[in-house]
């Protein structure tokens, strides 16, 4: 399907910087006063889902001449679950182009950055973030930012995750055993990137996991993340005890070859930490965490993801897959926040970060979850200190547990706060969290809610240029350019629909009021009158004299209150 602009005043433009083969998309908003405003754009060039996207990065990857295609692992029926085995065939197989997988020796963006090599991906990101390319390279080299870009996902438009850059938002999609189809999930992907998701995680746990992921990756201009333990568990009949390093490793290679850009690995859930969750209010709430805890207890062995971590690194570096070190012991209730289980795991994630970096593998670290507002900052501070500045990627956190149905909001409160303190990417939460699988509308609500939280953090951090967007919209508002106010909105469709609910006529779009206050009580209109009157008076009386008069007046009426 084609990506349609969400507002008639939006067009796609491309900026190329100093390289004509690097064409970075922006959404240009044409304002009625002749100005334009360019917005960061995640929706990609659009694709017919059965064809997929063009391989934007293919020439860059080939140009580096450090990867080769190979036959790759043969897809098995079990990759799509036991019902595919029963049926003897997979459903809805991918019908678009099938490229042979590629791999190299050590081809990560981190390896290049450390070697002083500036890749096309880094140039793209610098143009996209409107910053110096050296900032991009050096932050990746230092591990403080990642550029997730599996060579087998050449469709991605490069993006960066790190605290010196715009705060990013991830949208989770994926089916469950209870509901959804491949078409619905591709539709959710489109919806997520249309509204601004910077990465998408396919968390499918139901049928057709391999094929669903193929459709998603081939149509995704944003990096795709997964949690491979979910698929591995399906391959062993859903019995955690039967999991093994071998099954997991095979699943990881399957996903590396498909083009997954980052994978959540719950390697910090150590056997010795499981008892620390025994007296929690909500125990272990990470799916991957609970699976690995179950495995550890069943086998009385250390987590195989931990013991085989270096082998994982050796695989990831061949494809440039990034780690998202999972926080399997994150708190699932505000009561459990910042407890010993959570912090013990974080210390292990810090150790694993350093080990991945020895392999030049990119790493981000996942964070909670459910955290009361007064404990939010400590989460970032400890993660940044212990994990040597590796990007933090948090799920919310929810600032309270009492509002199921509104957990996009309870978590956006925590998310804005944690991002202000240095979290690099926020994993969205939808209104359905804790209650059911999100549908496409929930995906949109989640993405918009998190985009506003991320932007609030960018503004609070004083990120260069971030507040320009607010100012452009506020000026449109003050000047009653209603069309511009809608076009500049994060969600123009909803803003315009809300306005039109009471004042649908076209002439209301230039009126100096809305139905909230009506014409006589519009403060912005009155304020403009006041401003004009003041300007007239200043002109009449002579600027200098009038100013002095006002200042003097201000002096006489100003009274410093008593200190007590």
Within residues 176-195, the interface with a second copy by CB under 8 A covers 176-179
Task: Tell me the binding residues for Zn(2+).
Answer: 370, 434
The residue within the footprint of a second copy, chosen from 4, 70, 381, 550 (CB under 8 A), is 550
Please name the residue that has the structure tokens 């004009």: 532
The residue within the footprint of a second copy, chosen from 16, 69, 502, 545 (CB under 8 A), is 502
Q: How far, in whole angstroms, is CA 385 from its chain's centroid? A: 23
Least distance between a second copy and beta carbon 457 (Å): 7
169: left (phi over 0), alpha (psi -120 to 50) or beta: beta
Over the window 194 to 223, marking each residue x when it contacts a second copy by CB under 8 A and - when it does not, the resulting string is -----------xx-----------------
CA dihedral 527, 529, 532, 538 (to 10 degrees): -80
Query: Cβ neighbours of residue 208 under 8 Å, at least 6 residues apart?
Result: 80, 81, 84, 90, 91, 92, 175, 182
In the complex with a second copy, the residue whose CB is nearer, 183 or 281, is 281
Q: How far, in whole angstroms, is CA 288 from its chain's centroid? A: 20
Interface with a second copy in residues 278-307 (CB under 8 A): 278, 281-287, 289-291, 293-294, 297-298, 302, 306
Q: Which two tokens stand for residue 303?
A: 């987590």
In the complex with a second copy, the residue whose CB is nearer, 80 or 348, is 348
In the complex with a second copy, the residue whose CB is nearer, 12 or 475, is 475
Q: Which listed range, 58-66, 72-80, 143-151, 487-495, lies at the site for a second copy (CB under 8 A)?
A: 487-495
Please list, residue by residue across 146-176, b when 16 or more beta carbons sit within 10 angstroms of its beta carbon and e when fewer do.
Answer: bbbbbbbbbbbbbbbbbbbbbbbbbbbbbbe
Please list, residue by residue across 195-226, b when 16 or more beta carbons sit within 10 angstroms of its beta carbon and e when fewer do.
Answer: bbbbbbbbbbbbbbbbbbbbbbbbbbbbbbbb
Please name the residue that has the structure tokens 């746990």: 205
H or E element that contains 290: helix 287-299
Burial of 511 (0-12, 13-18, 19+ CB in 10 A): middle
Least distance between a second copy and beta carbon 332 (Å): 7
Residues belonging to the chain:
564
Least distance between a second copy and beta carbon 98 (Å): 29
400 is an interface residue for a second copy by CB under 8 A: yes
The residue within the footprint of a second copy, chosen from 216, 270, 356, 425 (CB under 8 A), is 270
Least distance between a second copy and beta carbon 492 (Å): 9
Task: For residue 194, give the nearest of 394, 397, 440 by alpha carbon.
Answer: 440
Q: Which listed range, 91-99, 105-113, 194-202, 454-462, lies at the site for a second copy (CB under 8 A)?
A: 454-462
394 is an interface residue for a second copy by CB under 8 A: no
CB 257 within 8 A of CB 73: yes
DSSP string, 135-153: HHHHHHHTTSEE----TT-
353 is an interface residue for a second copy by CB under 8 A: yes
CB 320 within 8 A of CB 263: no
Residues 395 and 168: their CA atoms lie apart, in Å, by 12
The residue within the footprint of a second copy, chosen from 42, 152, 220, 410 (CB under 8 A), is 410
Q: Which listed range, 59-67, 97-105, 194-202, 408-416, lies at the site for a second copy (CB under 8 A)?
A: 408-416
In the complex with a second copy, the residue whose CB is nearer, 322 or 353, is 353
CA dihedral 394, 398, 401, 403 (to 10 degrees): -130
CB 103 within 8 A of CB 68: yes
Task: Tell me the binding residues for [4Fe-4S] cluster.
Answer: 514, 517, 522
DSSP string, 262-278: EEEE-TT--GGGGGGGT
Q: Which listed range, 84-92, 135-143, 194-202, 326-334, lies at the site for a second copy (CB under 8 A)?
A: 326-334
Over the window 233 to 252, marking each residue x when it contacts a second copy by CB under 8 A and - when it does not, the resulting string is x----x-x------------
The residue within the footprint of a second copy, chosen from 88, 358, 518, 543 (CB under 8 A), is 518
Q: Please, which residues bridge with residue 319 across strands? A: none
Residues 327 and 371: their CA atoms lie apart, in Å, by 14
Task: Tell me the binding residues for substrate.
Answer: 172, 201, 230, 266, 286-288, 327-330, 366, 393
Least distance between a second copy and beta carbon 519 (Å): 7
Task: Tell me the binding residues.
Answer: 172, 201, 230, 266, 286-288, 327-330, 366, 370, 393, 434, 514, 517, 522
Least distance between a second copy and beta carbon 63 (Å): 35
For the chain, how far is it from start to end, CA to CA, in angstroms?
Answer: 67
The residue within the footprint of a second copy, chosen from 94, 473, 480, 487 (CB under 8 A), is 473
358 is an interface residue for a second copy by CB under 8 A: no
Dihedral sign, Cα of residue 17, residue 21, residue 23, residue 24: negative
Least distance between a second copy and beta carbon 1 (Å): 24
Instruction: Count Cα atoms within 13 angstroms, Cβ side, for 233.
Output: 22
Over the window 107 to 146, marking each residue x when it contacts a second copy by CB under 8 A and - when it does not, the resulting string is ----------------------------------------
Q: Which listed range, 59-67, 109-117, 149-157, 266-274, lies at the site for a second copy (CB under 8 A)?
A: 266-274
Interface with a second copy in residues 412-451 (CB under 8 A): 412-413, 416-417, 420, 431-439, 448-449, 451
Q: Which listed range, 80-88, 158-166, 187-195, 327-335, lies at the site for a second copy (CB under 8 A)?
A: 327-335
In the complex with a second copy, the residue whose CB is nearer, 17 or 294, is 294
In the complex with a second copy, the residue whose CB is nearer, 52 or 446, is 446
381 is an interface residue for a second copy by CB under 8 A: no
Interface with a second copy in residues 142-181 (CB under 8 A): 176-179
Residues 199 and 213: their CA atoms lie apart, in Å, by 14
462 is an interface residue for a second copy by CB under 8 A: yes
């Amino acid at each position: 399907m084609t990506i349609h602009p969400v507002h008639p005043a939006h067009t796609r433009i491309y900026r190329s910087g100093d390289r004509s083969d690097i064409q970075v998309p922006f959404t240009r908003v044409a304002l009625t006063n002749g100005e334009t405003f360019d917005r960061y754009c995640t929706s990609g060039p659009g694709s017919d889902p059965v064809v997929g996207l063009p391989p934007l990065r293919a020439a860059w990857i080939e140009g580096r001449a450090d990867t080769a295609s190979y036959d790759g692992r043969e897809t098995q029926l079990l990759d799509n679950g036991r019902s595919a085995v029963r049926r003897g065939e997979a459903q809805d197989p991918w019908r678009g182009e099938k490229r042979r997988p590629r791999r190299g020796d050590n081809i990560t963006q981190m390896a290049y950055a450390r070697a002083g090599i500036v890749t096309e991906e880094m140039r793209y990101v610098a143009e996209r973030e409107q910053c110096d390319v050296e900032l991009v390279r050096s932050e990746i080299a230092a591990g403080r930012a990642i550029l997730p870009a599996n060579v087998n996902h050449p469709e991605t438009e490069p993006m960066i995750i790190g605290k010196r850059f715009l705060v990013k938002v991830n949208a989770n999609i994926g089916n469950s055993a209870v509901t959804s189809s491949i078409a619905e999930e591709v539709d959710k992907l489109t919806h997520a990137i249309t509204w601004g998701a910077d990465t998408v995680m396919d968390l499918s746990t139901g049928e057709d996991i391999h094929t669903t992921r193929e459709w998603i990756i081939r149509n995704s201009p944003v990096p795709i993340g997964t949690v491979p333990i979910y698929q591995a568990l399906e391959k062993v009949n859903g019995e955690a005890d039967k999991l093994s390093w071998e099954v997991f490793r095979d699943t990881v290679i399957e996903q590396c070859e498909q083009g997954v850009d980052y994978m959540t690995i719950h390697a910090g859930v150590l056997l010795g930490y499981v008892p620390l969750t025994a007296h929690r209010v909500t125990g272990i709430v990470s799916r991957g965490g609970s699976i690995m805890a179950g495995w550890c207890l069943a086998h009385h062995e250390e987590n195989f993801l931990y013991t085989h971590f270096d082998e994982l690194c050796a695989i990831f570096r061949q494809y440039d897959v990034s780690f998202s070190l999972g926080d399997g012991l994150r708190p699932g209730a505000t009561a459990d926040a910042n407890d010993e289980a959570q912090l013990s795991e974080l210390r292990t994630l810090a150790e694993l970060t350093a080990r991945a970096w020895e392999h030049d593998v990119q790493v981000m670290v996942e964070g909670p979850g459910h955290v009361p507002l007064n404990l939010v900052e400590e989460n970032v501070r400890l993660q940044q200190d212990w994990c040597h500045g590796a990007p933090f990627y948090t799920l919310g956190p929810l600032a309270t547990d009492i509002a199921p149905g509104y957990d996009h909001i309870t978590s956006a409160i925590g998310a804005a706060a944690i991002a202000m303190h240095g979290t690099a990417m926020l994993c969205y939460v939808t209104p359905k969290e804790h209650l059911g699988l999100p549908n496409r509308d929930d995906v949109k609500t989640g993405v918009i809610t998190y985009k506003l939280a991320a932007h609030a953090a960018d503004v609070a951090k004083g990120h260069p240029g971030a507040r320009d967007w607010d100012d452009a919209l506020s000026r449109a508002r003050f000047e009653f350019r209603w069309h511009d106010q809608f076009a500049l909105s994060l969600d123009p469709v909803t803003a315009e629909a809300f306005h039109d609910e009471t004042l649908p006529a076209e002439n209301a779009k230039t009126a100096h009021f809305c139905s909230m206050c009506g014409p006589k009580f519009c403060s912005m209109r009155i304020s403009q009158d006041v401003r004009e009157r003041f300007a007239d008076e200043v002109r009449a009386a002579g600027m200098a004299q009038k100013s002095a008069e006002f200042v003097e007046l201000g002096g006489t009426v100003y009274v410093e209150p008593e200190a007590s």
